[in-house]
């Protein structure tokens, strides 16, 4: 491996910090700066830093640690009590964008009486079903809002949302590929959560006893916790077909009830802040290659972006309202579920490989993912900044530059 990756890391860290300071001056979350830094430093603008296997792997580890720490900081009692609510929020958060973006695709790619065209448009809708909650997590952590009811609703609903996204993709691909069994996939997803619950009870109990017995060198706890995180992430993806970040989040939940949770969270927060999180968010921008866009592409992009954002807010917001959340929490939940990321791009890639994604939608999908990723932290800032009477609230102190 060439030592050039060292320069890439240095440039990424420097640029994300620089743009983070700028966005903070405008009272925007620093994660917006990291996303912008990736776009500017990457092929889309300056073409200085390029995607590589090393950056991709570090970025993958970054989102795993980010979601693990989110699990550690989550209020598991609130998640338990809101179980039914999370399903309702996630279900509407999947169905409304699926239908809305399908309708937009059908405007530009009509003749849906043709089965191929119909499937192409359904794939566009499927792309925007899954939420990339990592962006929301970092923004909420930066604002000190992770313990709020609406934040827990977003995190929990995003996990259910991820599972539903897998189901949607499976159903669609099974229509064109008879080798894929819907029943088998649903069984594996169910098995994952059953195994996670059982493993969670055992690991949590053993870890708690170990903490009490060897409460001398706390660094051992960090290593052990990281091993649990990596093993569950690997198992989720490899054996059950569930996203590795879902496994990481559940690993955090499993360990969130021991007395050293705060210590673990601080250590992983440091690791994430110094290296992993900046690289992960910058990598989203670095991966973007914006080609020459004609007027048709611009119109499709704007239409898809508007529909992708508004349908998540409406779908998840209605779900939250039905479940008894107040008007501020309804907005916070809806906005928190806006971001799309790696899952959207994976579904789009799957559609292209199966020849079930019309080429005209690929560039608009990529740009919409960027728009959603950048707009969500900005909207979250406003959603959490006002109380019911519209008066500005004092937010917790963010991570210092």
* Both tokens assigned to 339: 């971001």
Share of the chain above pLDDT 70, in %: 85
- What are φ and ψ of residue 124, in 5° steps? -60, -45
Counted residue by residue, the chain has a size of 401
Q: Is the pLDDT score of 400 beyond 50?
A: no
- The answer to whether 104 and 175 are in contact (CB under 8 A) is no
pTM: 0.72
Q: What is the pLDDT of residues 333-364, one digit of tens each?
A: 999 999 886 667 667 767 777 777 887 887 78
- Please report how many Cα atoms fall inside a 13 Å half-sphere around the Cα of residue 232, on the Cβ side: 31
Mean pLDDT for 192-213 is 82
Q: What is the pLDDT of residues 268-314, one digit of tens each?
A: 988 888 999 899 888 877 876 666 667 888 999 999 999 999 999 99
- Rounded CA gap, 107 and 212, in Å? 62
Q: Which domains does the chain have, with CATH numbers?
A: 4-383 (1.20.1530.20)
pLDDT at residue 187, rounded to an integer: 84
pLDDT at residue 125, rounded to an integer: 94
**Which residues, in sequence order, are bridge partners of residue 386?**
392
* Both tokens assigned to 206: 């053993």
Residue 30: which of 150, 141, 194, 161 has the closest Cα?
141
């Amino acid at each position: 491996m060439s030592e050039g990756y060292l320069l890439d890391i240095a440039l990424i860290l420097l640029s994300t910090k620089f743009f983070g300071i700028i966005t903070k001056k405008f009272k925007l979350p620093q994660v917006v700066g990291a996303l912008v830094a990736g776009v500017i430093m990457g092929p889309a603008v300056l073409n200085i830093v390029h995607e590589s296997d090393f950056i991709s792997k570090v970025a993958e580890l970054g989102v795993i640690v980010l979601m693990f720490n989110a699990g550690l900081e989550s209020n598991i009692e609130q998640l338990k009590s809101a179980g039914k609510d999370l399903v309702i929020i996630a279900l509407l958060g999947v169905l409304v964008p699926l239908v809305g973006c399908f309708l937009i695709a059908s405007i530009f790619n009509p003749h849906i009486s043709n089965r191929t065209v119909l499937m192409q448009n359904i794939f566009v809708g499927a792309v925007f079903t899954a939420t990339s909650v990592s962006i929301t997590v970092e923004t909420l952590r930066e604002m000190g809002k992770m313990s709020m009811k609406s934040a827990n609703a977003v995190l929990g609903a995003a996990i259910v949302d991820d599972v539903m996204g897998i189901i949607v993709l499976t159903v669609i691909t099974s229509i064109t590929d008879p080798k894929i069994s819907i029943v088998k996939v649903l069984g594996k997803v169910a098995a994952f959560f059953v195994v996670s619950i059982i493993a969670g009870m055992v690991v949590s109990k053993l870890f708690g006893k170990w903490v009490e017995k060897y409460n001398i060198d706390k660094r051992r706890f960090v290593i052990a916790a990281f091993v649990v995180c990596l093993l569950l992430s690997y198992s989720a993806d490899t054996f059950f077909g569930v996203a590795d970040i879902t496994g990481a989040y559940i690993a955090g939940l499993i360990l969130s009830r021991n007395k050293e949770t705060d210590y673990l969270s601080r250590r992983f927060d440091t690791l994430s802040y110094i290296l992993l999180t900046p690289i992960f968010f910058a990598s989203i921008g670095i991966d973007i290659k914006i080609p020459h866009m004609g007027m048709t592409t611009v119109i499709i992009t704007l239409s898809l972006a508007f529909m992708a954002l508004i349908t998540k807010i409406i779908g998840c917001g209605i779900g939250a309202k039905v479940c008894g959340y107040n008007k501020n929490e309804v907005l916070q939940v809806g906005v928190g579920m806006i971001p799309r990321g790696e899952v959207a791009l994976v579904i789009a890639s799957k559609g292209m490989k199966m020849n079930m994604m019309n080429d005209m939608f690929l560039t608009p999908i990529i740009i919409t993912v960027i728009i959603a990723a950048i707009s969500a932290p900005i909207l979250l800032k406003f959603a959490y900044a006002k109380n019911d009477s519209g008066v500005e609230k004092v937010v917790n102190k963010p991570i210092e530059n």
